Structure 1
Amino acid sequence: MAASFRRVLLGAFAVLPMLGALPATVLAAAPDATTARDFIKQSGDQLVSIVNGPGSNQAKSAKLRALVDRIVAVDQIGRFVLGRYWRVATPAQQQEYLHLFHQTLAYNITNQIRAYKGVTFAVDGAKPGPEGQMVATTVTRPGQSPADVQWVVDTVGGAPRIVDVVVEGTSLRITERSDYSSVINDHGGEVSALLDAMKQQISRIAAG
């Protein structure tokens, strides 16, 4: 079940570069445990309300994309996922990559609406971690065993944001970075190969 659930969450939060690489303007102290816990509780309640509420899948997808843009540090996670290749990429490639990263996220959210139907979300607690507050939750879907999910919350741009998701001990942003690095390494270190692969993935998803 854990592997299946990780794939679902990767679709929804295909989820910060090392702190030293971040612009100084976005660095701030991590939120305290209460702030992080309340942030995840509110975010989870909003997600569940959208997924289980009325409306078409198209309308729900638009609401979910807007929610993710508010609660997830998408650009910072995208840079982390690209890893050392962020510095190798040209400015134009960096811009294109982040655009594609956002697109991939948006399409995957749309694809995962049905997988989330009936989901419930309970916040269990929070504790400091190496990269922010680790907020522990239990996420349950109909017909599935409960999954232990930790949401890593840090301060980005002056507000709490999700910077990683850890499902059954596996970091989703690290998993995604490994996958992206493999594509680039298999093509002689060319970032353009990853961009092409992302475009193909988006085209496949869009085609249904």
Structure 2
Amino acid sequence: MAANDIHVRMCLQEIVKLDLEIKARIQDVQQCDNLEQLEEQNRQAKVALAQLKDKINTLERLGKEQDREEDRVVVLKNVENHQQRMTSNIATLRKTNLSVKMAIDTQERDALMLGSETRKRNINSKETLAKAASKVTESLLELNQTMDAQVRKGNLTLTTLESSSKNITDTHEEFKSMGSHIQNARRLLTKYSQRELTDKVLIFLALVFFFATVLYILQRRIWSTRSSNS
């Protein structure tokens, strides 16, 4: 009895799982936008429906094997409910297939009509495209000429800048040379100024010595004269 209950529960779980899978396949069918996808989703849905039918039959067999009448009634009631759900899923799948096929047919028809109109527009617009291409080519040629002129102008400017840079470099070298001469002249002037100061001091000392000598001589003579008079 317990083993039968376990088998019944496992079978019910498989039935619920397959029912959910079929509903998911119906949703996938609704999302199809071409016949190849539609055929693939229908194939997988048919496989799930076949498995579901097999599990319901198994559940029905297990229900009939129940010892107690109450259990038998409950299981067979579940069998009836799942059969109704399976029938409803089959009907829903058919309706969904019909609506999706109609949508795909409409889409393909619209695509054919759009393609025909597009081809007509392409034929009518060839001359316009040719004219536009010619204008683009002319614009590119003008742009190329303008760029060549800019390049030549840039080369001339670069040559002028190189010449100016050379002149600046030469001037800088001249300034450096002049600075060296000025530094040498400054050293000479400083040296001459020092020598001039030395000469002035020597002359001053010589004058002091000279006047001291004169005063000494005068003092000696005056002293000698006084001594003679005495």
Tell me if TM exceeds 0.5. no
Q: TM-score, normalised by structure 1?
A: 0.22
TM-score normalised by L of structure 2:
0.20
* Rg larger in structure: 2
